[in-house]
Amino acid sequence: MRMGRTVNFEEELERKKQNVEEVILRYLPREHGFAETMARAMNYSMQAGGKRLRPILLGETWKMFGGKGAVAEPFMAAIEMIHTHSLIHDDLPALDNDDYRRGRLTTHKVFGEAMGILGGDALLNYAYEIMLTAFDLTDNPRSVAVAARIMADKTGIHGMLGGQSADVENEGKPITREVLDYIYENKTSALIEASMMAGATLAGAGKQEVRVVEKAARSIGLAFQIRDDILDVTGEEKEIGKPVHSDERNRKVTYVTLMGVEAAADQVRRLSDEALGLLDGLDQKNEFLRLLVNQLVSRRN
């Protein structure tokens, strides 16, 4: 997967994003029958755009370890469904109470609060329905079982949902660096870890390699989140697509409020160097993945 020097990274990223869109579309539920509204709510939220970062990372790590066939595709759709489920529930009145996301009305504003809750549940569950179909696409069922287990562990109370729990509980409170790290490592890094670890596992990577990928993914997730904190202070509203200085207004503790913009930027560089160093130490290479990590930590939106 080494890229020719003439291929433009942005074009390549766009092409990969298009591929993810096609995969997702193939796995969405049909809008018919007595649960049609639920299917429409699921599809509405899944088709709201976004970076598709997690499925791309999953697919690229899978390719990096020589993955072949279609077995990664249901996992690519599944990780985006899990992520989208968390956004739908995060937007609910009892949580962040957001009416808009990416310029569109949030799911519960279109379909009502009850369907926001149930549609989010259905999306989380659908991720597993889809992942488990991957047993039909492989002659290595063990790798599918291990990958599915990684996805479940990183999504649940010991991963993303645990991070959300701590985030909700500490809202508006002055928190320590330790708690902030816990929230970032779980709310954000855990699904990045799941993406890259599942991709590696499905391609047949060994335990030791998957452990290295996990470490790299944790640093990437953390760097990605701290970059978000920085953009909230230094970004342009029309570029990042959401109001800036919202953390200051909401008295939210972030890396920037804890250590200032300069030190936070140093931290992002340190973390991304660490991640790239770990990936470079592996026998497998994926130059696009390297470029993607660099872009994620220097992005302006």
Angle at 158 between CA 210 and CA 124, to 5 degrees: 90
Contact flag: residue 177 with a copy of itself (CB under 8 A): no
CA–CA separation, 253 vs 121, rounded Å?
Answer: 29
Q: How far is the CB of 126 from a copy of itself (least distance, A)?
A: 6
CB of 293 to a copy of itself, least distance (A): 27
DSSP-assigned letter for residue 174: -
Where does this chain touch a copy of itself (CB under 8 A) — which range of 69-77, 124-132, 216-224, 257-265? 124-132
Residues 211-270 that bind a copy of itself (CB under 8 A): none
103 dihedral zone (left: phi>0; alpha: psi -120 to 50; beta)? left
Cα(100)–Cα(38) distance, integer angstroms: 20
Q: Does 168 bind a copy of itself (CB under 8 A)?
A: yes
Count the site residues for a copy of itself by CB under 8 A. 56
Smallest gap from Cβ 31 to a copy of itself, in A, equals 10
Pick the binder of a copy of itself from 15, 149, 270, 285 (CB under 8 A).
149
Please say whether the beta carbons of 144 and 135 come within 8 A: yes
Least separation in angstroms between residue 201's CB and a copy of itself is 13
Contact 192, 80 (CB under 8 A): no
Q: Does 120 bind a copy of itself (CB under 8 A)?
A: yes
Contact status, residue 164 vs residue 90, Cβ threshold 8 Å: yes
CA–CA separation, 211 and 197 (whole Å) = 8
Interface with a copy of itself in residues 37-96 (CB under 8 A): 37-39, 42, 85, 89, 92, 94-95
One character per residue 187-206, x = contact with a copy of itself (rule: CB under 8 A): --------------------
Nearer to a copy of itself, 165 or 284 (CB): 165
Nearer CB in complex with a copy of itself: 30/238: 30
Token output for 1: 């997967």
Cβ proximity to a copy of itself: between 6 and 114 the closer is 114
Contacts 24+ apart (CB under 8 A), 142-150: 143/71, 143/201, 143/202, 143/204, 144/71, 144/202, 146/201, 147/75, 147/197, 147/198, 147/201, 147/202, 148/198, 150/194, 150/197, 150/198, 150/201
Q: Which is nearer to a copy of itself, 42 or 271 (CB)?
A: 42
Write the CA distances from 1 to 67, 85, 282, 286, integer angstroms: 11, 32, 15, 6
Residues forming contacts to a copy of itself in the complex (CB under 8 A) are 29, 33-35, 37-39, 42, 85, 89, 92, 94-95, 112-122, 124-126, 128-129, 132-133, 135, 141-142, 144-145, 148-149, 152-153, 155-158, 161-166, 168-169, 179, 182-183, 186
